[in-house]
Chain A
């Protein structure tokens, strides 16, 4: 079995009397693409905030990239990447300036940043955009760039919080190719999405409902278990049992 990069056991997060995360337990291996699904308000965001060191669990064991989520949030932050649904690059900075900024924030050396910058521009065929403002780029390109920036510092895990919201299907397909490529480099991808076709691309998926994980397996097994043709059907059967 692969190395575990996320280990969660009996995680509980309460806000007052409201239980946002109710006894979550799961593990994610290195290089895995882990889909984290659930309706709005099911508790996904709370869980991601805990996993990314932004918020502390109420109880339970949480270990991310080898660090404890209670005491070592600083270490966790250094070892993860993050890209959110809202757009996360600075529109009034150029491609190059954004990359230098994020590289600097993650403590990368100048030479390493320069090297990665060149790699990235070549890989995305982005050379002509190097000195263009982000606001001049089409949405699809921005999304790809935002993802590349999120993994610029070679994190162990990258969290993608609905990364493809508002993007056309072709761009989404291309985006997923980039995700595969990243996972093949051994970076774990932890992704939330509302698009059920995207869930099919994941190695394993978990489905949350009202703070609990109600299903967790590979898409194929879940489809078999719930006697469904697609993940979407599985999801609907779980979220609306009647």
Chain B
């Protein structure tokens, strides 16, 4: 009995010892990677400065305040109530009247002139209908080529109209009356949220930083000749790769927390869905981006090449094709196909769903699965490439 226990204990000891042995080599290597990062101000700046700056720039440039936005009026009714409502809308200070239109044909013309961001249309007999039937409708037609302004104008106008309805309902009529604003966005009907820039920035920043940083840090070792020395050392290739990538995984995760915190504190953007699910999906996306970075490093010989591939190959397509700015629904089919191989496209759906709609995994499992498969494919390809290089 005692002997048995002892032998079992010693076997465990050996395993522990081996683990400690391998871990020590590995951890020393990881520590060195952190030193590289923390000693290079440029790296630190790219890691933390750029995301913060992006959030603030996007946040304030795509400001939630509007002032003196050009609005034209098409008043087909021209009665007391429409005049009052128009007056109320323009006295709010958010809008400036550009033109009074005469018929529907003018709408397109006035948008093309460029100063007008939205047109408010009162239907025929607006006032009469409102008083007789307690119901009237007006349309807010906005210029979707500036999606954020468009959404803001619509939201502001809608709330002014609601205010107006309340005031009107109060003293004058006991019965409930309703003005139903019919919102229509020209050129960009699919736009859903004006918080879209935060998910977009997270998507862009993570893939850029992870892929760029890992590909650069690995090619740097190649360029400086230290990779040869590492490969000849007892460190296994997988340990080298993991050791190089792990610090970036860790720091990118902190980055996500930072961006979320910043967008919450500065812009009051909440996460509607599960925060744990959101963080888990972010980790998956970070991992995908890191394996992409490793893949880039295996095909590029110099740091410049790696930077070039990461920036041109990732940043532009991510901005243009992932649905970050331009909705995929409105793209020609061919771009739809092109964008279907781009990981950001799927992550943007995931993150928007969790953050803005508050949905759970049941709605985004497909996108999640695609990201997992992409990660595995990139990993497989880089391992193969890496092996070929060793041969």
Residue on B with the closest CB to A89?
B226
Contacts of B36 in A (CB 8 A): 90, 92-93
Contacts of B32 in A (CB 8 A): 90, 93, 97, 101
Task: Flag if B225 contacts A54 (CB, 8 Å).
Answer: no
Contacts of A90 in B (CB 8 A): 32, 36, 224, 226
CA gap between A77 and B233 in the complex, in Å: 6
Task: Flag if A88 contacts B229 (CB, 8 Å).
Answer: yes
Is B381 in contact with chain A by the CB < 8 A criterion? no
CA gap between A87 and B227 in the complex, in Å: 10
Given that A55-B391, A104-B25, A107-B24 are contacting pairs, would A92 and B39 also be in contact in the complex, using a CB cutoff of 8 Å? yes
Interface size class on chain B is 20 to 34
CA gap between A93 and B390 in the complex, in Å: 27
Among A80, A84, A97, the residue within 8 A (CB) of B35 is A97
CA gap between A53 and B391 in the complex, in Å: 10
Is B280 in contact with chain A by the CB < 8 A criterion? no
Task: Flag if A100 contacts B233 (CB, 8 Å).
Answer: no
Given that A86-B225, A97-B35 are contacting pairs, would A104 and B234 also be in contact in the complex, using a CB cutoff of 8 Å? no
**Chain A interface residue count, Cβ-Cβ cutoff 8 angstroms:** 31
Is B269 in contact with chain A by the CB < 8 A criterion? no
Is B349 in contact with chain A by the CB < 8 A criterion? no
Task: Flag if A88 contacts B228 (CB, 8 Å).
Answer: yes
Is A83 in contact with chain B by the CB < 8 A criterion? yes
Is A122 in contact with chain B by the CB < 8 A criterion? no
Is A203 in contact with chain B by the CB < 8 A criterion? no
DSSP class of B's interface residues: helix, strand, loop or mixed? helix
Task: Flag if A101 contacts B28 (CB, 8 Å).
Answer: yes
Is A74 in contact with chain B by the CB < 8 A criterion? yes
Contact with A along B28-72 (1 / 0, CB 8 A): 110010011001100000000000000000000000000000000
Residue on A with the closest CB to B221?
A90
Residue on A with the closest CB to B28?
A104
Among B35, B229, B236, the residue within 8 A (CB) of A93 is B35
Is B235 in contact with chain A by the CB < 8 A criterion? yes
Contacts of A106 in B (CB 8 A): 25, 233-234
Given that A74-B234, A97-B35 are contacting pairs, would A105 and B225 also be in contact in the complex, using a CB cutoff of 8 Å? no
Is B231 in contact with chain A by the CB < 8 A criterion? yes
Contacts of A102 in B (CB 8 A): 233
Min Cβ gap B202→A in Å is: 30
Is B21 in contact with chain A by the CB < 8 A criterion? yes
Is A85 in contact with chain B by the CB < 8 A criterion? yes
Contacts of B230 in A (CB 8 A): 105
Is B232 in contact with chain A by the CB < 8 A criterion? yes
Is A194 in contact with chain B by the CB < 8 A criterion? no
Is A91 in contact with chain B by the CB < 8 A criterion? yes
Task: Flag if A86 contacts B234 (CB, 8 Å).
Answer: no
Residue on A with the closest CB to B231?
A54
Is A78 in contact with chain B by the CB < 8 A criterion? yes
Residue on B with the closest CB to A105?
B233
Contact with B along A5-34 (1 / 0, CB 8 A): 000000000000000000000000000000
Is A182 in contact with chain B by the CB < 8 A criterion? no
6 further interface pairs, Cβ-Cβ under 8 Å (given A104-B29, A105-B235, A107-B21): A55-B390, A74-B236, A77-B234, A101-B29, A104-B24, A104-B28
Interface residues of A (CB under 8 A from B): 52-56, 74, 77-78, 80, 82-93, 97, 100-102, 104-107, 150, 159
Interface residues of B (CB under 8 A from A): 21, 24-25, 28-29, 32, 35-36, 39-40, 224-226, 228-236, 390-391
The 9 closest A-B pairs by CB, nearest first: A86-B225, A104-B28, A82-B232, A88-B229, A77-B234, A78-B234, A84-B228, A105-B233, A52-B232
What are 20 inter-chain pairs, A to B, with CB distance below 8 A? A54-B232, A55-B390, A77-B232, A78-B234, A82-B232, A83-B229, A86-B224, A87-B224, A88-B226, A90-B224, A92-B40, A93-B36, A101-B28, A101-B29, A104-B25, A104-B28, A105-B233, A106-B25, A107-B21, A159-B232
